[in-house]
């Protein structure tokens, strides 16, 4: 009988943190502009994140960087496998440069987040990270600008816009969590 209670206690302790982690992520995601997307991307990392705002921000940055790199590969493949006009090819090429810049800025943000410590430099460091993530978000927006105008209303615009809006939304989520962590 005692072993059964011990087993139940161990099992309940193992389950409780995961549930509280998931609740933490859901509540945190509900503060962003894209709560469903946020939860979709981050809930699978609940055991890694725990209830840490720092780990939430770092994981959001990592998920955004990973998706940004994947998007770059998808757009490169798309540009090589579909018949595109010269204007569309030029816009995708410009977009890929912006996405590459975004990936670099997200990478730098992640590296800097790993170095941040409390103390006199905390706010300066967090401000730098916020600036890098904001720049990544701006690059994503700039990418879609290349597809504006009536001459760019085809499939390429739709594909690029869908992919890039996804990474822009993820960057927005990451920026929200970086901002929240900076306030602590």
Q: Which two tokens stand for residue 36?
A: 């469903």
What's the distance, Cα to Cα, between the start and end of the chain in Å? 46
Handedness of CA 157, 160, 166, 168 (dihedral sign): negative
**Over residues 46-72, mean pLDDT:** 95
Note the pLDDT of residue 149: 77
Note the pLDDT of residue 21: 86
pLDDT band at 11 (very low <50, low <70, confident <90, very high): very low
Q: At what angle do helices 122-145 and 53-81 cross, to 10 degrees?
A: 20
What single-letter DSSP state applies at residue 152?
A: G
How many DSSP H helices and E strands does the chain contain?
Answer: 7, 0
For the ranges 19-23, 77-81, 121-125, the lowest mean pLDDT is seen at: 19-23
pLDDT band at 23 (very low <50, low <70, confident <90, very high): very high
The CATH fold assigned to 2-183 is: Butyryl-CoA Dehydrogenase, subunit A; domain 3 (1.20.140)
Note the pLDDT of residue 146: 86
Q: In whole angstroms, how large is the CA radius of gyration of the chain?
A: 20
Q: Average model confidence (pLDDT) for the chain?
A: 89
Note the pLDDT of residue 3: 52
Note the pLDDT of residue 14: 44
Largest CA distance in the chain: 76
Handedness of CA 98, 100, 102, 104 (dihedral sign): negative
Note the pLDDT of residue 28: 97
Helix, strand, coil content of the chain in percent (nearest 5): 85, 0, 15
Q: Kindly state the percentage of the chain with pLDDT values over 90.
A: 74
174 SS3 class: helix
Note the pLDDT of residue 1: 42
CA angle 167, 30, 102 (to 5 degrees): 20
Interatomic CA distance for residues 180 and 80, integer angstroms: 41
**Single pTM value for the model:** 0.87
Q: Find out whether 167 and 102 touch, Cβ atoms under 8 Å.
A: yes
**Interval 103-153: pLDDT, tens:** 999 999 999 998 998 888 899 999 999 999 999 999 999 998 888 877 777
Note the pLDDT of residue 50: 92
């Amino acid at each position: 009988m005692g072993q059964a209670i011990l087993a139940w206690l161990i099992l309940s302790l193992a389950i409780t943190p995961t549930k509280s982690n998931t609740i933490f992520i859901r509540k945190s995601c509900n503060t962003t502009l894209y709560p469903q997307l946020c939860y979709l991307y981050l809930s699978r990392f609940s055991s890694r994140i725990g209830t840490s705002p720092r780990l939430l921000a770092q994981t959001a940055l990592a998920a955004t960087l990973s998706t940004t790199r994947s998007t770059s590969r998808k757009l490169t493949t798309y540009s090589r496998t579909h018949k595109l006009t010269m204007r569309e090819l030029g816009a995708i090429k410009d977009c890929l440069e912006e996405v590459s810049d975004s990936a670099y800025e997200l990478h730098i943000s992640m590296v800097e987040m790993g170095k941040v410590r409390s103390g006199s430099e905390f706010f300066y460091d967090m401000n730098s990270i916020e600036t890098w993530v904001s720049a990544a978000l701006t690059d994503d927006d700039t990418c879609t600008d290349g597809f504006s105008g009536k001459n760019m209303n085809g499939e390429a615009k739709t594909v690029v816009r869908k992919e890039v809006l996804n990474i822009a939304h993820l960057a927005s989520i990451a920026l929200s969590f970086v901002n929240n962590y900076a306030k602590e």
